[in-house]
Amino acid sequence: MPKNILVIDDEAAVRKSFVLALEDTDYHVDLAESGFKGVEMIGRQNYQLIFLDLKMPGLNGVETLRKIRGIDAAVPVYIITAFYGEYLDELKGLADEGIEFQVLRKPIGSDQILTLTKIVLDQDTGVEWT
C-alpha cells in the first residue's frame, strides 16, 4: 500500500518540485495550493508525511499546522520556508504548546526531498549513520 504525502504550498513550482522528486517512488503525493485546501484534504485522507509552506496567503503555515494537529497529532510535518526569521516567535509559540514539527529552509533540492522522505517513511534508507 503506498504511503501518502501531502505538499501544502501556494507556489506551483514548489509543488511540482516535490512531484518530480518523488515521481519514481511508490509514494502517493497529493498537492494543496493553500492551508485551507490542505486542512480539508487531511480531514478526508490519512497522510504519513506533510510538507508545509510557512508564508502563504489566507491561512499561513503556523495557523495551518494548528489545524492539522487538531485532526492528526502524530503525522510528521516538515515546514519548508525561506521566511523562518519572520515567523520565529510564532514557531516558538507552537513548540511551547507542545506542537511537534521540523523546519527546513528553502531552497530544498530533489535529492534532499527524496532522502528525507525515505528516512521519515521507510526508516531504512541503506544509509549507515555513524
Please write the tens of the pLDDT for every residue from 98-111: 999 999 988 899 99
Give the pLDDT confidence of 4-48 residue by residue, as tens digits. Answer: 999 999 999 999 999 999 999 999 999 999 999 999 999 999 999
Enumerate the β-bridge partners of residue 102.
78
The pLDDT of residue 3 is above 70: yes
Enumerate the β-bridge partners of residue 77.
50
Query: How far does Cα 118 stand from its chain's mean position?
Result: 14
Contact in structure between 20 and 44 (CB atoms under 8 Å): no
- C-alpha angle 102/108/109, rounded to 5°? 135
For the whole model, what pTM was predicted?
0.90
